[in-house]
Amino acid sequence: MAVLNRVPVEIEKRLLLASILGFFWGSAIGTFCWVGLFNAIEEKVVHLQEYLPTPTKDTQFVLVEIDRIPVDRPWPWPRLEYSLFLRSLIPQMPQSVVLDILFTDRGPRLDSFDETFRSLISRLNRVCFAGAALKTESLAPQQFLFEKFLVRGDPSLLPKYGSAFWPSTDLTVGNPVGINNLGVGTKRKIRSVPLFFQLKDNLVPSLTLVAAASYMQASIENSEARLNKAFLLRNSTGNILRRIPLDSEGRMQLRFKRFPSGIIRIKYDDFLLYTDEMARGIKPAFDLNLLHGKQVWLGVTDPAVINWVETDMGKMSPVEIKLEAARQIVQGDFLRRTPKGVAFVFLFLFSVLAPRLFVRFSFLKAFGWFLVLFGTVVGTSVAGFILFNLVFPLASFLFVSLGVILCGLSARFWKFHVIPLKSPHLERVEAALERIEKKFLHDGSKFNQ
């Protein structure tokens, strides 16, 4: 290992050199982080952080999943089937109900119990219905009743739809309706869901947004969407209940946790069995009183009927994805990115100051201090992610740290070369002086002789 010359002037030179090298490295990495050059790597780091355990929250959701379609009850089911479900659900007094089922099919077998169905809906607190948006234009005039909201920004990037399957108003009995599409790109791994859709000239809320608003008793009409910023979900008095991060296409990023999110799951057939046992005074295997005050979702998870979607947690049914998104909104479980300006300043200052350690101290001591700083930053970032969902650009910080070591060692072992730089005038003067000196020396030698 080379030994530094402990002359203060040389140390100051090397300290300055370390900061200059760190300045250029930090500026480059900070700029790359600002423009999003490392976004793909940062997302992979975030997915790895999702493996970390997070504090559990009380569950507010129950999923009654239709996981098997019997041969003797072909799909789609008639309204009688759902009437039996709602009748069994009323004694449990749920906070609200979300039916992720399209009630658009008609026929004697399907809609013969519509009157019974409507009467049961009126006995529940609030029921959310599903519609489906279509790319094709409809020749027949269609009427869509939905809650409108204010949109700020350029809506040109929003996917456009020309028509929709929509439940009739006499069936929904004034309850809210939301579009249950997962949006464009569902053939690939899905990482976000749309909160609203551009249906012809209207912006229609999604089923996820309608369900979350119903549970939080929010008013979508008083809410506001700021494209590429956030969806401001407000209550009837205008107070903001949630700031939902939003991209330019009106989509909310999903956060799939590796640990249970607390959603209660019951199979449809088991639910009917449990309610029948309670009616006959038999204690069921599952305590249905847990449904009291919660939002109950009903949806199909049978892979023979619907296509499952690839996610970071493996394949999931569409209703599970929409329910997970609604849970995130209700619990405020959003990833909060560190502002770009704050991240840039931190990375820049770290890259300018940290390399000086390798000049100021011995190599082992400097490396020890560097590991302490590196571990503190990484530990604080992980703690912020677990406790506050705060995302720090760890990949960019890793690149900066690598550059800090290289810049510090370069400044430590840099060999300074002194290169004399003289002006042409000075060189001519020195040449003239040399000629004069030689002349006088030559004349002096003659005189001595």
Q: What radius of gyration, in Å, describes the C-alpha atoms of the chain?
A: 34
Residue 107 confidence (pLDDT) above 80: no
Residue 97 confidence (pLDDT) above 70: yes
Q: What is the mean pLDDT of residues 293-298?
A: 95
DSSP bridge partners of 206 = 179
Evaluate the omega torsion of the peptide bond into residue 76 and state whether it is cis, within 30 degrees of 0.
yes
Q: What is the mean pLDDT of residues 272-282?
A: 90
Q: What is the pLDDT of residue 202?
A: 87
For the chain, percent of residues with pLDDT exceeding 70: 86
Q: What is the mean pLDDT of residues 291-308?
A: 93
DSSP bridge partners of 316 = 309
Q: What is the mean pLDDT of residues 31-60?
A: 85
Q: What is the pLDDT of residue 414?
A: 84
CB atoms within 10 A of CB 281: 6
Q: What is the pLDDT of residue 395?
A: 94
Under a CB-based contact definition with an 8 Å cutoff, are residues 371 and 362 in contact?
A: no
For the chain, percent of residues with pLDDT exceeding 90: 49
* 362-421 per-position pLDDT tens digit: 989 999 999 999 999 999 999 999 888 899 999 999 999 999 999 999 999 887 654 454
* 116-156 per-position pLDDT tens digit: 888 999 898 889 999 999 988 865 656 677 888 989 988 88
The C-alpha atoms of residue 38 and residue 27 are separated, in whole angstroms, by 14
Query: Which residue is it, tokens 């350690």?
Result: 357
Q: What is the mean pLDDT of residues 46-66?
A: 83
List the alpha helices (DSSP H) in 317-420: 318-331, 340-353, 357-360, 363-388, 394-412
The most confident of the ranges 121-125, 169-173, 441-445 is: 121-125
Q: Name which of 108-122, 188-202, 223-237, 292-306 the model is least confident about.
A: 108-122
* Token code pair at residue 238: 């205008």
Q: What is the pLDDT of residue 178?
A: 94
* Cα first-last separation, the chain: 61
Residue 304 confidence (pLDDT) above 50: yes
Residue 56 confidence (pLDDT) above 80: no
CB proximity list for 141: less than 8 A, separation 6 or greater: none
Residue 26 confidence (pLDDT) above 80: yes
pTM of the model: 0.80
Q: What is the pLDDT of residue 158?
A: 87
Longest Cα–Cα distance in the chain? 143
- Supply the mean pLDDT for the chain: 85
* Confidence band for 302, pLDDT divided at 50, 70 and 90: very high
The C-alpha atoms of residue 102 and residue 111 are separated, in whole angstroms, by 13
DSSP bridge partners of 31 = none
CB atoms within 10 A of CB 377: 17
CB atoms within 10 A of CB 400: 24
| Integer CA distances (angstroms), 322 to 121, 156, 317, 336, 379, in order | 22, 24, 9, 20, 33
- Sheet of strand 150-152: strand arrangement: 150-152, 219-226, 230-234, 240-245
Q: Name which of 259-263, 297-301, 427-431 the model is least confident about.
A: 427-431
Identify which has the larger pLDDT, 292 or 260.
292
Q: What is the pLDDT of residue 8?
A: 65
CB proximity list for 248: less than 8 A, separation 6 or greater: 153, 154, 157, 227, 228
Determine the angle formed by the axes of helices 363-388 and 394-412, rounding to 10 degrees: 170
CA 163 to mean position of chain CA atoms = 30
The C-alpha atoms of residue 206 and residue 198 are separated, in whole angstroms, by 11
Q: What is the pLDDT of residue 389?
A: 87
Q: What is the pLDDT of residue 419?
A: 45
List the alpha helices (DSSP H) in 252-294: 268-279
Residue (of 273, 286, 238) closest to 88 by Cα position: 273
Go through 75-102 and write b for each residue having 16 or more CB atoms within 10 A of its CB, e for each that does not: ebbbbbbbbbbbebbeebebbbbbbbbe
The C-alpha atoms of residue 24 and residue 410 are separated, in whole angstroms, by 14
